[in-house]
Amino acid sequence: MRGFSCTFACVLFILTFWSGALALPRFALMAGAKCGSCHVNPTGGQIRTDYGLSYGMDALPLRTGKGEGDDAGFTFNPKLSENFTIGADFRRQFIIEQTGGASAFHLMTMSLYGSVQLQKRLVFFFKQDLVNETYGALGGPEVFIVAKILPGGWYVKGGDFLPDYGWRLDDHTAYVRGGDLGFLPGFAGHAGLIFLPNYKDIGMEFGGYAGGFFITAGVFSGSGNTQKIYFENDKAYSAKIEYSGNIESVNFRLGASGYGYKSYKMGGIHAGLGTADVALLGEVDVTHNTIDPFAVPSPGDINESGRAMAAYGELDIRAVQGVWFTGKYDVFDPIRGVTGDALKRLTIGMEFFPYPFVEFRPQYRLAMETPSIDNNTGLVQLHVWF
Are the C-beta atoms of residues 163 and 220 closer than 8 Å to each other?
yes
Say what the pLDDT of residue 225 is.
60
Are the C-beta atoms of residues 130 and 112 closer than 8 Å to each other?
yes
Say what the pLDDT of residue 13 is.
33
Say what the pLDDT of residue 7 is.
37
Residue 58 pLDDT more than 90? Answer: no
Considering the entire predicted model, what is its pTM?
0.85
**Percent with pLDDT over 70 in the chain:** 83
Helix (H, G, I), strand (E, B) or coil at 193: coil
Say what the pLDDT of residue 10 is.
37
Say what the pLDDT of residue 187 is.
52
Q: Distances in Å between the alpha carbon of 108 and those of 68, 113, 141, 173, 321?
A: 32, 16, 16, 12, 26
Say what the pLDDT of residue 3 is.
43
Say what the pLDDT of residue 198 is.
76
How many residues would you count in the chain? 386
Lowest mean pLDDT of 62-76, 199-213, 246-260, name the range. 62-76
Tens digit of each residue's pLDDT (9 = 90 or more) over 316-342: 999 999 999 999 999 999 887 667 778
Say what the pLDDT of residue 368 is.
84
Residue 195 pLDDT more than 50? Answer: yes
Say what the pLDDT of residue 352 is.
94
Cα of first residue to Cα of last residue in the chain, in angstroms, is 38
Lowest mean pLDDT of 84-98, 176-190, 197-211, 228-242, name the range. 176-190
Q: What is the mean pLDDT of residues 280-309?
A: 80
Say what the pLDDT of residue 32 is.
76
Say what the pLDDT of residue 1 is.
47
Helix (H, G, I), strand (E, B) or coil at 56: helix
**Percent with pLDDT over 90 in the chain:** 44
| Helices and strands per DSSP (H, E), number in the chain | 4, 16
Rounded to the nearest 5 degrees, what angle is found at the Cα of 86, between the Cα atoms of 131 and 207? 95
Q: Beta strand 250-261 with 301-320: parallel, antiparallel or unpaired? A: unpaired
CA 139 to chain CA centroid, nearest Å? 14
Tens digit of each residue's pLDDT (9 = 90 or more) over 231-250: 778 899 999 999 999 999 99
Q: Write the burial class of residue 101 (CB in 10 Å: 0-12 exposed, 13-18 middle, 19+ buried).
A: exposed
Domains and CATH numbers, the chain: 6-15+25-68+75-385 (2.40.160.10)
Tens digit of each residue's pLDDT (9 = 90 or more) over 111-140: 899 999 999 999 999 998 888 765 555 666
